[in-house]
Amino acid sequence: MKSFFEDPNMLLGLPLLVIGAIGAIVAVATLAAPQPALVGAPPARRHGAHPGPLEYVQIGAVLAMLTAIEVAVYYVNIQQGLFITILLALSATKFAFVVLWFMHLRFDSRLFSTMFIGGFALAASVFVVVLATLGGNLV
């Protein structure tokens, strides 16, 4: 077995771990920072208001958890069709979270969200059909 510094996978994972830790520190520091109050501004409505820093960190945690599940699924020995189905479903879920929260479609008209997610579903369906037709062994 190679030592830590001889294994290229370990050397690649260490910088990524450091970058992730720095990102977590910045996110937590953002939560602790006082929010500026706008003089004369009416109180914010929570129903249609955009999310605060805490909600962004929560969505980030959900996305990190989904990514961890994807990585775990990669190492589980399962049938190829099920493997691809699980990864496509997880990636579609992550796509929806990013589009709805980070691109603020959740707070716009429902028509925009429906068209964006519907377009992704259509593209994914065409992708699966073309790969199955060309012998991608998806079915």
Task: Decide if 128 is inside a domain.
Answer: yes
Task: Decide if 94 is inside a domain.
Answer: yes
12-24: pLDDT as tens digits: 565 656 666 666 6
Give me the sign of the Cα torsion angle 88, 19, 60, 42: negative
Please name the residues in contact with 130: beta carbons below 8 A apart, sequence gap of 6 or more: 136
Residue 69 has a pLDDT of 92
95 — pLDDT class (breaks 50, 70, 90): confident
Residue 49 has a pLDDT of 66
48 — pLDDT class (breaks 50, 70, 90): low
Compute the mean pLDDT over every residue in the chain, rounded to the nearest whole number. 74
For the whole model, what pTM was predicted? Answer: 0.55
Task: Decide if 92 is inside a domain.
Answer: yes
79 vs 45: which has the higher pLDDT: 79
Residue 28 has a pLDDT of 62
The one-letter code for the residue type at 63 is L
Interval 88-117 mean pLDDT:
82
The 10 Å Cβ neighbour count of residue 67 is: 13
Domain of 81, in residue numbers: 51-133
CB 86 within 8 A of CB 73: yes
Interval 101-118 mean pLDDT:
80
Q: What are phi and psi of 133, to 5 degrees?
A: -70, -40
User: Is the confidence at residue 45, as pLDDT, over 50?
Assistant: no
Task: Decide if 41 is inside a domain.
Answer: no
Based on the structure, what is the number of domains in the chain?
1
Task: Decide if 67 is inside a domain.
Answer: yes
Task: Decide if 31 is inside a domain.
Answer: no
Task: Decide if 108 is inside a domain.
Answer: yes
User: Is the confidence at residue 85, as pLDDT, over 80?
Assistant: yes
